[in-house]
């Protein structure tokens, strides 16, 4: 590890802390349905959308209707993408003449992008036409992100409202977030990326004759416009197979920094928005503090392990940190940081190959996802996932002091706790269940590239990434098979919507409650004790379940690595 590396890591966090309040304030205005300076330009667009769709943005919805409209909208978008991908061969915008996708791949990809996962069983440059990238995939990058933020708003309203029967209007939330946050920021980011060397063209490929006289064909396309929302919306689906390691997606160390910042920007802001919504911004800072503690531990371990390098490789006469699967322009520090950022959030973009990380360096991304991506987390999904843990934490605290637990003015009762457990239990159930099945059936065992414990890690990582809606991979796994496309498709769908429904039910149930003012007997949810309790709850309730699987995968791999055993 170097001083320079740590300055990068701490500077990265410092920039985000400065941006937290402005971003949070902007989001709060949209949460409240207030005007922003952008309404002058985009207000007519917003009103036009409502008019054509027959939507009354002021019509409040109860949690059931909010959930129903959200589900139907996502299902329609998923169907659209499935059709676009299947028919790719006959649709326009296909300069490479690529054929339509197989049924299982289109199924997997349509779910993947709808669920904000962006797991990719394919290599973008050899599978997707420009039209599919734009019309089939980019739309999900916006709308799955907007859906996540809308859902977070709905839960915030559950905490903030008193004796209410409604939690907002889904259509108004999605439209406002898309028009006033995602789209304007993406326009700025796209221009920056193009200026930095990310292509933005409708051409498919360009042929070059290398200095040595060989022919090299470079894949091009409308990359920058997709790159912008891929990071900002914590989607992570790369235009190219190598994702943000590809020089056309991420050409410089500066674009790399901007990509990492855009992954976290909205997640940081939403903690502030939450505090503002419940009337005490210290509530937001307390959440952010516990997230940052977990984040820094993760970065520390991964950076340390990657900088220390692989002793097996050192034996062969190579010095220094682990550079297998990493780009020179980023180096070890920025790649380690990126890997922890992308898995703490539900992004899943990678700027280096996690499969080739050292055993423990690659275990941290895995743990981040297994904790449910509540360390900052995906846009919207991170904070609503975190608040489920907060509900469990006040419940645990309530058990210890023998009082009815309260959180930000709401009594937490058995219904909320049951629903929170239901939402959180889906992760281990599917991750471990599907990994176990895939470790014994032939179609599952055909997947891994690597042998030994690392092969098991590849399977575990795939289902963890799918259920947690991350999308990054230990990419050695051959996943474009009917078995993995199908299993992962189901895993991604359940991982997204099986958490959302109980969460919205909690929002509805909280909104209906009266306000309970804080008293001398309330457990304080702003100080250091609370932050510690949150961290402990997440690690114990979220993490402990996975320890045996980690022992079989990365920990066994690490022990093999330090004793020089190869497979």
Partner 1 sequence: MTSDIKSALRPVLAMTILFALLLGIVYPLAMTGIGQAIFPRQANGSLVTQGGKVVGSTVVGQAFTSERYFQTRPSAAGKGYDGLASSGSNLGPTSQALVDRITADVAKRRAEGVGGALPADLATASGSGLDPDLSPASAFAQVARVARARNLPAERVRALVAAQVETPLLGILGDPTVNVLALNRALDASGG
DSSP 406: E
Compose the 52-91 pattern: x for residues touching partner 1 by CB under 8 A, - for all others: xxxx---------x--xx--xx--xx--x-----------
- Residues 96-135 touching partner 1, rule: CB under 8 A, are 123, 125-126, 134-135
Q: CB–CB of 357/327 below 8 Å?
A: no
DSSP 554: I
Nearest Cα to Cα of residue 118 among 140, 101, 103, 99: 140
Residues sharing a CB contact under 8 Å with residue 507, sequence separation 6 or more, in sequence order? 63, 154, 155, 157, 158, 167
Of 48-56, 390-398, 486-494, 538-546, the segment contacting partner 1 by CB under 8 A is 48-56
Burial 28-40 (b: 16+ CB within 10 A, else e): bbbbeeeebeebe
Whole-number minimum distance, CB 354 to partner 1, in Å?
A: 9
Helix (H) or strand (E) holding 207: strand 205-209
- Residues 245-264 touching partner 1, rule: CB under 8 A, are 245-248, 251-254, 256-257
Residues linked to residue 205 through DSSP beta bridges, in sequence order? 219
Nearest Cα to Cα of residue 347 among 373, 385, 370: 373
Compose the 355-384 pattern: x for residues touching partner 1 by CB under 8 A, - for all others: xxxxx-------------------------
Whole-number minimum distance, CB 201 to partner 1, in Å?
A: 5
Of 113-121, 235-243, 282-290, 502-510, the segment contacting partner 1 by CB under 8 A is 235-243
218 contributes a contact to partner 1 by CB under 8 A: yes
Whole-number minimum distance, CB 427 to partner 1, in Å?
A: 24
| Secondary structure class of 38 (helix, strand, coil) | coil
Whole-number minimum distance, CB 369 to partner 1, in Å?
A: 18
Instruction: Measure Cα distances from 156 to 318, 368, 548 in Å.
Output: 52, 24, 35
Whole-number minimum distance, CB 483 to partner 1, in Å?
A: 19
353 vs 361: CA distance, rounded Å? 11
Token digits for 373?
């991506």
Whose Cβ is closer to partner 1: residue 220's or residue 340's?
A: 220
46 contributes a contact to partner 1 by CB under 8 A: no
Whole-number minimum distance, CB 190 to partner 1, in Å?
A: 5
- Residues 137-176 touching partner 1, rule: CB under 8 A, are 138-139, 142-143, 171, 174-175
- Residues 277-336 touching partner 1, rule: CB under 8 A, are 309-310, 312-314, 316-331, 334-335
Residues linked to residue 419 through DSSP beta bridges, in sequence order? none
Instruction: Measure Cα distances from 512 to 196, 314, 378 in Å.
Output: 50, 62, 27
539 contributes a contact to partner 1 by CB under 8 A: no
Total chain residues near partner 1 (CB under 8 A): 125
- Residues 441-480 touching partner 1, rule: CB under 8 A, are 449-454, 457, 474-476
């Amino acid at each position: 590890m170097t001083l320079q590396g740590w300055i990068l890591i701490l500077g990265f966090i410092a920039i985000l802390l400065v941006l937290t309040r402005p971003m949070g304030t902007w989001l709060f205005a949209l949460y409240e349905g207030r005007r922003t300076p952008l309404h002058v330009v985009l207000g007519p667009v917003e009103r036009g959308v409502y008019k054509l769709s027959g939507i009354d943005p002021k019509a409040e919805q109860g949690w059931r209707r909010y959930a129903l409209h959200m589900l139907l909208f996502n299902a329609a978008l998923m169907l659209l993408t499935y059709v676009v991908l299947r028919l790719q061969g006959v649709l326009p915008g296909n300069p490479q003449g690529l054929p339509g996708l197989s049924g299982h791949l289109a199924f997997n990809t349509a779910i993947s992008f709808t669920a904000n996962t962006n797991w990719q069983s394919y290599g973008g440059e050899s599978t997707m036409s420009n039209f599919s990238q734009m019309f089939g995939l980019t739309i999900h990058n916006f709308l799955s992100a907007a859906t996540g933020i809308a859902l977070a708003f709905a839960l915030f309203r559950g905490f903030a409202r008193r004796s209410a029967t409604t939690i907002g209007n889904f259509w108004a939330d999605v439209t406002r977030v898309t028009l006033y946050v995602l789209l304007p920021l993406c326009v700025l980011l796209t221009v920056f990326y193009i200026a930095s060397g990310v292509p933005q063209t409708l051409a498919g490929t360009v042929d070059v004759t290398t200095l040595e006289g060989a022919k090299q064909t470079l894949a091009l396309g409308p990359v920058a416009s997709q790159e912008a929302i891929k990071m900002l919306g914590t989607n992570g689906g790369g235009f190219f197979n190598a994702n943000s390691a590809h020089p056309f997606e991420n050409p410089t160390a500066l674009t790399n920094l901007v990509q990492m910042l855009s992954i976290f920007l909205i997640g940081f802001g939403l903690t502030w928005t939450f505090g503002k919504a419940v009337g005490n911004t210290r509530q937001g800072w307390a959440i952010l503090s516990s997230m940052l503690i977990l984040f820094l531990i993760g970065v520390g371990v991964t950076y340390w392990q990657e900088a220390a390098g692989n002793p097996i490789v050192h034996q062969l006469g190579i010095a220094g940190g682990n550079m297998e699967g990493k780009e020179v322009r980023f180096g070890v520090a920025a790649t380690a940081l990126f890997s922890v950022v992308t898995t703490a959030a539900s992004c899943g973009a990678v700027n280096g190959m996690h499969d080739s990380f050292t055993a423990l360096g690659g275990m941290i991304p895995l743990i981040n996802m297994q904790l449910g991506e509540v360390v900052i987390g995906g846009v919207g999904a991170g904070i609503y996932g975190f608040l489920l843990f907060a509900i469990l934490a006040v419940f645990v605290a309530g058990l210890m002091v023998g009082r009815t637990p309260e959180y930000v003015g709401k009594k937490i009762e058995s219904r909320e706790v049951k629903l929170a457990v239901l939402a959180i239990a889906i992760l281990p159930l599917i991750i471990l269940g599907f990994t176990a099945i895939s470790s014994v059936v032939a179609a599952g065992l055909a997947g891994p590239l690597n042998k030994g414990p690392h092969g098991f890690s590849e399977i575990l990582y795939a289902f963890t990434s799918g259920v947690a809606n991350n999308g990054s991979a230990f990419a050695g796994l051959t996943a474009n098979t009917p078995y993995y496309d199908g299993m992962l498709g189901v895993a991604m769908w359940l991982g997204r919507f099986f958490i959302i429904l109980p969460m919205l039910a909690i929002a509805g149930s909280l909104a209906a409650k009266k306000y309970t003012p804080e008293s001398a007997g309330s457990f304080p949810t702003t100080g250091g004790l609370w932050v510690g309790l949150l961290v402990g709850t997440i690690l114990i309730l979220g993490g402990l379940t996975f320890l045996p699987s980690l022992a079989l995968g990365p920990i066994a791999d690490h022990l093999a690595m330090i004793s020089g055993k190869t497979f």
